[in-house]
């Protein structure tokens, strides 16, 4: 039986950089010897169909289509088997990134952390331990044109390895979200674009891209 639920609000969003060889290469990076982690703030979350706001301080915002893992149990210094058994569901994540600010800052908090920079959804597919995570595909499209296509089995670090590693640093709580990295094909977003992240069997997350509405100061 296939069960879909709304994506719960996480206490934190843990993201993984350079987890696909072809994506690391396209940005001129080598593959890390340990998972490369960063955080996105929960304030960046938006649901399916909500607009992504292009910040005025960036001239280069990109999409990153990713598979998101939602935790169902607390994980602290967990083995890979314990980590695998703690997965509640999977969903689509767009790790929207201001690429120019990422390069300029060194630290990625600003580039990855703007409001609206974490579209998630449209819902969560519940998975149990019999589900073959390695078979899931991740597709990224802009205005209907395919830009990204990856398969979980191509990941440099597997999902259980990532969760086990993260849990050796910070305790993961139920509903925490882990974005597992993006395959090759990242590219710029412009106002008026419609960007999609699809995981066949899970769903399609689609969001328009806009300049933020004028705010009175
Ligand atoms: Zn990413």
Residues 182-198, mean pLDDT to the nearest whole number: 97
Tell whether the model's pLDDT for residue 216 goes beyond 60: no
Residues 121-140, mean pLDDT to the nearest whole number: 96
| CATH number 3.30.70.141 is the correct assignment for the domain at 4-215 | no
pTM of the model: 0.96
Taking phi over 0 as left and psi of -120 to 50 as alpha, with beta for the rest, 143 belongs to left
Q: Give 42 Cα–ligand 1 centroid separation in angstroms.
A: 15
Q: Give 19 Cα–ligand 1 centroid separation in angstroms.
A: 9
Q: Give 50 Cα–ligand 1 centroid separation in angstroms.
A: 19
Q: Give 58 Cα–ligand 1 centroid separation in angstroms.
A: 17
Instruction: Give the environment of ion ligand 1: residues with CB less than 5 A.
Output: 64, 95, 182
User: What are the φ/ψ torsions at residue 107 (nearest 5 degrees)?
Assistant: -70, 145
Please state, rounded to an integer, the average pLDDT across all residues of the chain. 96
Asked whether the CA dihedral 86, 49, 27, 145 is positive or negative, the reply is: positive
Distances (CA, A) of 178 to 104, 131, 136: 25, 18, 16
Spans of all domains in the chain = 4-215
- Confidence label for 35 from pLDDT (cuts 50, 70 and 90): very high
């Amino acid at each position: 039986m296939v069960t879909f639920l709304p994506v719960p609000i996480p206490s934190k969003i843990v993201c993984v950089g350079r987890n696909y060889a072809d994506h690391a290469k396209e940005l001129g990076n080598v593959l890390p010897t340990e998972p490369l982690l960063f955080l996105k703030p929960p304030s960046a979350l938006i649901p399916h169909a909500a607009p992504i706001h292009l910040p005025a301080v960036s001239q280069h915002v990109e999409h990153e289509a990713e598979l998101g893992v939602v935790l169902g149990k607390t994980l602290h210094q967990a083995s890979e088997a314990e980590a695998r058994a703690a997965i509640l569901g999977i969903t689509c994540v767009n790790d929207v990134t201001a690429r120019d600010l990422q390069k300029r800052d060194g630290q990625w908090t600003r580039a990855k952390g703007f409001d609206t920079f974490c579209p998630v959804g449209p819902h969560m597919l519940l998975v149990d331990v019999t589900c073959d995570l390695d078979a899931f595909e991740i597709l990224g499209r802009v205005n209907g044109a395919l830009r990204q296509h990856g398969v979980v089995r191509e990941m440099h670090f597997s999902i259980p390895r990532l969760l086990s590693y993260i849990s050796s640093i910070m305790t993961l709580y139920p509903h925490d979200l882990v974005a597992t990295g993006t395959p090759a094909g990242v590219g710029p977003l412009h106002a008026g674009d419609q960007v999609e992240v699809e995981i066949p069997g899970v769903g399609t997350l689609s969001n328009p891209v806009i300049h933020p509405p004028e705010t009175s100061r």
